[in-house]
Amino acid sequence: MVRRLISMVLAVWVIATITFLLMHSVPGGPFSKDKALPPAIIKNLEARYHLDWPLWKQYVHQMYNILRWDFGPSMKYESRSVNQIIRDGFPISARLGAVAVALSVLVGLPVGIISALRHNRWQDNIAMGFATLGVALPSYVVAALFIYVFALKLGWFPSSLWGTPKHYVLPALALAGFPMAFIARLARSSMLEVLQQDYIRTARAKGLSERVVIYRHALKNSLIPVVTYIGPLIANVFTGSFVIERMFGIPGLGRHFITSIYNRDYTTIMGTTVFYSVFLVIMILVTDLTYALIDPRISIADERK
Amino acid sequence: MKAKKLVAILLALVMVAALGAGCTKTQTTPPAQDQPTPKEPMVLRYNLGVEPETLDTAKMTGIPEFNAVLPALEGLTRIKADGMPGPGMAYKWDISEGGTKYVFYLRDAKWSNGDPVTAHDFEFAWKRALDPELAADYAYMLYHVKGAEAYNSGEGSVDDVAVRALDDKTLEVHLETNAPFFLDLCSFPTYMPVPSKVVKANPDWHASAATFVSNGPFKLTKWEHHSTLEYEKNPDYWDKDAVKLDKLVFYMVEESSTELTMFETGQIDYADNPPLPEIDRLKAQGVFKVSSLIGTYYYIFNTEKPPLNDWRVRKALTLAINRKDITEKVTKAGQIPALAWVPPDITDAKPGADFREVGGDYFKDNDIATAKALLAEAGYPDGKGMPPIEILYNTSEAHKAIAEVIQEMWKKNLGIENITLTNQEWKVYLATRDAGTFMIARAGWIGDYNDPMTFLDMWVTGGGNNNSRWSNKEYDALVTKARLETDPVKRMEMLHQLEDMLFADGAWPIMPIYYYVDSYLMKDYVKGVYISPLGPIDFKHAWIDK
């Protein structure tokens, strides 16, 4: 476990270092603007943000800030710190993401399992038809379609902005489209595979009812690939989607991953990247711990020795 | 196969629709259209489009930021509906002979926390903006004030900045040189006062609506980042009887198609950037509107790169495009073909006179015959032997469409075959433009104040925005001379001469394409909004008439 934690810290450090090198090697800086600033002003700005320091010193400074979990002031939104930007945006993206993930699991999983159990029958065909659609349609197409149909034509839901539960519906559906479909397909193929296994045949041969076979023996094992997918999915969806947030005008965190790069907002690029990486490695750890809970082959076997 | 897919899509729609309907059965009735009753507060909802970078007037540089503070703050002057500066926090002023000394007399006005607005607040604000440690981008807007540039660049002392509160209500300012547009500048955010007591106690007072202090027609009451700004009528404002709106709401929706949906579903009354593909439809509906904007869209020639180091080639390229076609068929929002550099709506020396009208055009649009002759003179008859040229633009569909049309026009009209188009991401493009490693680059320039100088002084040798690298010592000398000239008529003559020099033989560093317009969507019931040709929008006199 300690080795595992060290490797997690190392991973984040490597990501931060690569990010630092990349962002400083891209042409243009945070203060290059359409209207060129007088040299004296550029000098003042660079001094303020320590951009006049040699690169190694900036690197050490930034790594130190990451250790303290203080990413410094944003170079674009000058009255806010990067920590504040994350504090403002993340809860919104996370709440929307939680709804989307819940939706994808609660719909995707049963649909996938039912498809597997009704393999090649009409239920399966319809479900997988939808799943293919869900995987194939990019979220911005889905979002545009939803806005057009449910906001503009039917007027059931607001087309954009944020605040009431109604505002969650369209973006959460658009966001859930892909993972829902993907989970359904994953659950289906995994279930089909498990149903072919010897121990299922054994269970059936022993005369256990179909119900017990499915719930006690097949289901748990078929969840492994789904869990593997859900861990990183949570890290991904909870930190927000640039496209969905932009199209629905949601003040989440997702935009900052993209716009900070356009703006060469060095502190925000580093802050959001590190935040995401930390979240991701934690989710991967949680995923691994979950395996132990559901897969007897991984750890319960050890206990029984 | 196709039919199957279609059926699948329809099914998907039906199912999702059913799901949606299930979720909201209790609230399926659409909200009733707001009935105008006398008691109902009058609210105007505008899409600002982006999150303001800051609400600290010293540090802001962009139009959205200006728009975000204009309801809540007021400088010494405020621009009136005729575009001229009128009284603001100052009710009158004296200007010395020669125009280098101003004395402002302040009215009794209050900040929204109850403190009086004093001349000290102005002195403090200007010196604060000039503080090298604050590192404000637009500190250079204050360089007109004597001693300002020296202090800001770390060479002078703050005590030598010539702005001084003689007492609580009198502010004296000395300028470096005569600046006839100084009263305009006094309405500009960089010149706005800050509540000095509040700032000393809390340097981040501007970062949230709870601590922000207003002195304008409205008070800032809410700032949700990337979402909403809200303002309420300020009962302490000196001219409160002129303010009719009770509330202003600004949204920050970036996606123009989403903005359009909000406009069409009645969530907003006024929006700034209608999506280009919808323009024809919106024009037909009568909601698409246009007002003037002091700006020029142009191409810069890199005068150091052959064959563009020959002015005849530059002039030939400039003459050989059809701007009317570009504005009518490509940009479509009502832009005006530019046949000179300084755009219309900038005042000339005589009141009411327009600099552009006085100056006239410098060349004819689509003058292919002259262009061909010039190109032949330069040694490339019918484009033969012309080295390859490259057009650089920042990645955008709109710039791309224009570049493609121009490429085609040069090919057809001048016989130039080898023209490549290159696009770069915004900041990369800026870096390339500054480094001078381009041949022809797209650019746009919006004036900072209502005076031709904001367009002319950028072409001096080594100027930070002179990416053409064109240099003319006479031009440089005349810019300096015009800055020092105190007689407005003579000064304006010099500015016309400067523009003449840009289009004289040997010059032609730029190819003007069109003058910008500000296009927007506004419901018919929105009245009294003043859109300045410099970009900022003033809601002080706005009202809703429905």
Task: State pLDDT tens for residues A115-150.
Answer: 988 888 898 888 888 888 888 888 888 888 888 888
Cβ atoms of B142 and B126 closer than 8 Å: yes
**pLDDT band of A298, cuts 50, 70, 90:** low
**Contacts of B215 by beta carbon, 8 Å cutoff, 6+ apart:** B72, B73, B74, B89, B109, B110, B111, B112, B117, B193, B195, B234, B237
Decide the pairing of beta strands B389-394 and B419-424.
parallel
> What pLDDT shows up at residue B511?
97
Q: B14 versus A253: which is more confidently predicted?
A: A253
B393 vs B196, B411, B433, B443, B444, CA distance in Å? 44, 19, 10, 8, 11
Residue B29 burial (CB count, 10 A):
7
Q: Say how many CA atoms lie within 13 Å of A208 toward its Cβ.
A: 16
Q: Does B206 touch chain A (CB under 8 A)?
A: yes
Identify whether A251 is preceded by a cis peptide bond (ω within 30 of 0): no
User: Token pair for residue B274?
Assistant: 């209608």
CA angle A146, A147, A148 (to 5 degrees): 90
Helix (H) or strand (E) segment spanning residue A62 = helix A55-67
The pLDDT tens digits for B424-439 are 999 999 999 999 999 9
The pLDDT tens digits for B51-65 are 999 999 999 988 999
Cβ atoms of B223 and B252 closer than 8 Å: no
| H-only helix segments in B364-437 | 368-377, 397-414, 426-435
Q: B10 versus A40: which is more confidently predicted?
A: A40
- Nearest Cα to B65, choosing from B78, B54, B49, B81? B54
The dihedrals phi and psi of B216, each to the nearest 5 degrees, come to: -100, -170
Residue A55 burial (CB count, 10 A):
11
**pLDDT band of A299, cuts 50, 70, 90:** low
What is the separation of C-alpha B238 from the centre of its chain, rounded to a whole number of angstroms?
28
Give the integer Cα–Cα distance in Å for A299 and A286.
15
Residue numbers in B near A152 (CB within 8 A): 261, 264-265
> What pLDDT shows up at residue B98?
85
Q: Does B10 touch chain A (CB under 8 A)?
A: no
Place of tokens 């810019």: B479
Q: What is the Cα Rg of chain A in Å?
A: 24
Instruction: Kindly determine whether residue A78 and residue B444, on different chains, have CB atoms separated by under 8 Å.
Output: no
Residue numbers in A near B442 (CB within 8 A): none
Place of tokens 């001349």: B119
User: Token pair for residue B185?
Assistant: 């500048």
Cβ atoms of B482 and B491 closer than 8 Å: yes
Mean pLDDT calculated for residue range A246-252:
91
**Contacts of B511 by beta carbon, 8 Å cutoff, 6+ apart:** B298, B299, B300, B301, B314, B317, B318, B321, B440
The dihedrals phi and psi of A128, each to the nearest 5 degrees, come to: -70, -25
Cβ atoms of A220 and A295 closer than 8 Å: yes
Helix (H) or strand (E) segment spanning residue A229 = helix A224-238
Closest residue of A to B224, CA-based?
A251
Give the integer Cα–Cα distance in Å for A124 and B492.
80
**Contacts of B205 by beta carbon, 8 Å cutoff, 6+ apart:** B195, B198, B199, B211, B212, B213
- Nearest Cα to B71, choosing from B443, B529, B512? B529
Cβ atoms of B93 and B75 closer than 8 Å: no
> What pLDDT shows up at residue A28?
87
The dihedrals phi and psi of B153, each to the nearest 5 degrees, come to: -95, 15
Which of A152, A155, A246 is closest, CB to CB, to B255?
A246
| Residue of B227, B259, B428, B433 to mutate for A, most A C-beta atoms under 10 A | B227
The dihedrals phi and psi of B177, each to the nearest 5 degrees, come to: -140, 170
Instruction: Kindly determine whether residue A262 and residue B133, on different chains, have CB atoms separated by under 8 Å.
Output: no
Give the integer Cα–Cα distance in Å for B145 and B468.
29
> What pLDDT shows up at residue A95?
93
Q: Does B264 touch chain A (CB under 8 A)?
A: yes
> What pLDDT shows up at residue A297?
65
CA angle B5, B8, B12 (to 5 degrees): 140
A63 to chain B, closest Cα gap in Å? 24
Give the integer Cα–Cα distance in Å for A107 and A184.
8
Which of B16, B154, B258 is closest, CB to CB, to A159?
B258
**pLDDT band of A217, cuts 50, 70, 90:** confident
Place of tokens 């090298």: B132
**Contacts of B159 by beta carbon, 8 Å cutoff, 6+ apart:** none
Residue numbers in B near A169 (CB within 8 A): 20, 23-24
Residue numbers in A near B139 (CB within 8 A): 41, 44
A245 vs A234, A240, A255, B166, B294, CA distance in Å? 17, 7, 7, 52, 33
Which of A77, A155, A251 is closest, CB to CB, to B227?
A251
**pLDDT band of A296, cuts 50, 70, 90:** low
Residue numbers in B near A162 (CB within 8 A): 227
Torsion sign, CA atoms A173, A166, B50, A266: negative
> What pLDDT shows up at residue B43?
96
B251 to chain A, closest Cα gap in Å? 8
Residue numbers in B near A265 (CB within 8 A): none
Which of A79, A149, A157 is closest, CB to CB, to B204?
A79
Cβ atoms of A139 and A177 closer than 8 Å: yes
Residue A294 clears pLDDT 80, i.e. is over it: no
Task: Give the count of Cβ contacts less than 8 A between chain A and B.
Answer: 171
Residue B366 burial (CB count, 10 A):
15
Give the integer Cα–Cα distance in Å for B220 and B72.
6
Q: Give the residue ranges of chain B where pLDDT is below 50.
A: 1-32, 35-36
- Nearest Cα to A289, choosing from A96, A8, A95, A94? A8
A187 to chain B, closest Cα gap in Å? 20
Give the integer Cα–Cα distance in Å for B90 and B183.
11
Predicted ipTM?
0.85
A77 to chain B, closest Cα gap in Å? 4
Cβ atoms of B423 and B391 closer than 8 Å: no
B152 to chain A, closest Cα gap in Å? 7
